[in-house]
Each structure stands twice: as structure tokens, then as C-alpha cells.
Amino acid sequence: MRLKLTICVWMILGAGTAAAQDSLSEKLVREQTSPVTVLRDELYTSPALKAWQRENTYSRLSASFGKHEQDLYLQQEGSGKQQLDVHSETYLRGKDNTTIWGKAYYISEKLFKVKFNESANYDLVYPYVMADTVGGDLNSETYAFSGGLAKGFGKYQVGVQAGFKGEQSYRNRDPRPKNISTILDLGVAVSRRLGNRYLLALDLNGTKYNQENKLEFVSEVGEPLIYHDAGLGAYNEFLSGARMSANYNGFIYGAGLQLSPAGRKGWYAGVSVQQTNIGKLLDRIVFEIGTAKERLLSGRAGYIFDKDDRHFMAGVKATGLSREGLEAKFQTGASDISIVKIAEDVRYKRACNTVGANVLYGRTGGFADWYAGADAEYLDELQQYVQPNRRLSFTRLTAGIHLTGRKQFGRTSVTLKAAAHRQETLEQSGSWSDINPQKAIFSMMNSNFAFLTASGMNYRGQARVDFPLMEKLACFIAADAAHQTGTGRQEWKLTTAFQF
């Protein structure tokens, strides 16, 4: 697998080297370090809009190492992680109205203090994870590559992109999960020019998801109870015990419509919908014990002016997420063979709605380049489980500012970034009175609720230095650090990269 990843990396970089003639220029560094680029990229993620996403072609090979830990955390995802990331990417825009892009990466992680979860990809399969009360540090390796091609035909652009992501997670002491998951992505899109100023793109995308989730014990002195979470710490006692092998299978599919300016000036708007359906099978049961169904609606609108030495962008964005957990009911006989599914009910529900706004302004080309911006987001979340009745809800407001400064010293460019945000929980409530306070699940629910409703300040900063090594080869070194007072989160990362 690593050999295939290495070959893929060098194929991507090799293809990009010949075309990336301008990738070492000051103009490229300005584009890559500009906070406008981060916001602007969202307007051109469609494969049929990639030709307008960047002004400069480039190929990059980077490596980063970082770590973060925190006092309050979601126990199913752990208290932090240590991560090594090797990443390559390229973006090429040819003279024949063809655009090519690609990425490949390898990530090695150590997740700290993962508990009440022995399954991978928690954000996709929850609430139906395999769980125990012991847990511990978890090792994870991820391999991924993706790429796409867009081609112009008169007023139209047609684009296609595909990707693969494989992950394995494991622990070398009891309990010993051995999880392998795969994600296959495919997206197609078409865009059309509306006059000379705007582009309208339609996207269709689909994802196939699979995970083999197995748990083993080597110790002969006993095993903790293995149960299958159904949401907010609830579980079916009939399924608990010796069933330590599960499979997750499902699809994610969606569509989007995006209006974007053909240049760097104009209004933009977009809407999208995404549906996720992932079911869980247990060994010796032919029926799915639970199915997670999620629908995500999102929309955004705003204005961009990114020309010459002036840079401005302002916008609003809203999302609505609804997830349901359909739990099976079984009729049981004298053996596993006679287990029959007779019905299913929606037992777990989650609704999360967000509304956000941002504004950014910057000037370049003077003594130093600078940008200043502000953003805010309001979040309203509700989770509940019925029979037994458990519920948590909260509303949160996050707002802050961010600054970027960049200065050229000869052929060396220095970029500094800083941000400060206040996160404030406005309302909160939680109820799980049916749980015995002496149980470990009661402690887990309280700990998770404290994390979700924590208020505090979040500070982030980055220093980056770009410098040439030789003709058509440059390097940058970046250091990131962050601190959050509400959860006690401490984070740092070091990155070095070569650009062709």
C-alpha cells in the first residue's frame, strides 16, 4: 500500500513539475498565504469550476508533525492526538482549456484516551459504535489519493473527480480493535458561462463507505462488557456480550448548484444537499441492527472583490443538519439462527443548525501586505434518545477577528497570522436521570456535555517563511500554535514543504 502511495505521489508531482513555471514567484506565495484564497476556494470547489479556482499552477510535497491535547473532550474521539502527515498536491491549468488537479497523502496518528468507542470514523457511523468502558490510546494509519480533470467546450466546462481513502486503526493491548475502512468518491459537474461575468455549475457526487470493525482480547483473566451504542449512552442489552465483529456499509450522495464570478469580482451564491445512509451489521445476525440517516442542507451568498492591490470578501452561510438513528427490534428464538427483525423505530435524533457571517479586507503591494477580518457563527444543537428518554441541547455564539501580515525581504517572504475568537454558550440543558450515577456511562455523559457546552477564548497563530532553494524549487517552513481556555486545548504543528 505504501509503495502504491509513493508511486502516486511522484506521478502527481512529476506531471506538475514541467508546467509549474511560475510556482516560485512572489505572486504564488501571495496567493497561497492570503486568507482571501481560503474563502475563495469554497466558491470553486466544483470540478467544473476548478479552472477559475487559482491563478497560479503549482506542485507541492510537504510533511508536518503536530500534537494537541485538551482537558475537556468528547470521550469517543479521545483527548487529543499526535500526527505525522506526508502530503502532495498539484494544480495545473493547461493552454488547451484543460485543468488537472490531484492530492495524495499518508497520515500516521496516535489518538489519546479513546473511550466508549472501538469503531473507526466516529463522525460517520455514530451513534452505532462498538463500545466498552476501558478504551485507551489508539493507533491509526490513513492512505488517500484523489484527482480530477476539467475540460472546456465553448461556454461549457465539464469536470470529473474521483478519490480513495483507506484507514486502519488498532491497539496493541486489550481491548484490541482491528478496524479497516474504505471510502470511494466520485463526482461529476458541468458549468456554463452566463455572459462574461458569471458561471453557473451543477454538481452530482456519490460516496461508497465500508468498515470492518473487529475487537479481540488476549488476556485470560476476564473481559469488560462489550455493548453496541445506540445514542447518548443507550444500548440494547440483548446485543451486548460476545458479539465483537461488525460491518458498516452505506452511501453518501448529494447535489449542488453554485453561482460564481468568472473573474475575481462579483456576487456569489450556492445551495447543496447531502444524504448519508450507513447501516450496521453484527456477526450471526443477517439484519441491520441500526441505520444512521443524515441530511445536510447548506447555502451561502456574498460578494468578492479580489483585484490588483485591493482584496475584499463578505458573505453569509447557513447549514441545517438532521440525523436519525433507526434501531431494529428483534424476535428471538432459541438460537442466533432464529433471530428475526420485526420492526425498526427512530430512537436517536440530532438536529444542528448554524448561521454564520464573515468579512475580510486587505491591501497588498505596499511596504507590507496586510489583511484584517471578522467572523461570527450561531449554533443551535439538540440531541435526544427515546425509551429511555435522554436529551441534551445548547446554543452557542462564536465571534472573533483575524489578522495577516506579509513582508518581502529580498527573495524571502515572511508571513504572520493571528486570530482570537470568543466561544460563549448561551443556553444549555441536559437530562439522563435514568442512568445510575455509579455507572461509567453517567460519568461519560456528564463529561461530554461539559465539553460541548464549554465557553472560552480560542487563540491561534502561525509563522511561515518562504525562500527559494534553486531554480524552479522553493521551500517554506511554518509553525502553528493554538490555545483554547474553555476546554484547556493546547496545539502545535510544524510543517515543511518543497514547491516545484
CB 54 within 8 Å of CB 472: no
Spatial CA neighbour of 55 closest among 39, 87, 32: 32
pTM of structure? 0.92
* Residue 103 CA, distance from chain mean position: 15
pLDDT of residue 157: 97
User: What's at 307, amino acid-wise?
Assistant: K
Give the per-residue pLDDT at 229: 94
Task: Label residue 488 left, alpha or beta by phi (over 0 means left) and psi (-120 to 50 means alpha).
Answer: left
User: What pLDDT does 500 receive?
Assistant: 83
Picking from 462, 419, 468, 495, the residue whose alpha carbon sits closest to that of residue 62 is 495
pLDDT mean values, one per 10 residues, the chain (500 residues):
44 40 68 92 94 92 98 97 97 90 97 96 96 93 97 96 98 94 98 96 98 90 83 88 91 98 94 98 89 98 93 97 94 66 92 98 94 98 96 98 96 96 98 95 97 98 95 93 97 95
Q: Which residue, among 194, 196, 200, has the nearest Cα to 259 in the 3D structure?
A: 200
What integer pLDDT is reported at residue 19 of this predicted model?
38
What pLDDT score was predicted for residue 243? 85
pLDDT of residue 11: 42
pLDDT of residue 6: 43
**Which helix (H) or strand (E) element contains residue 405?**
strand 390-409
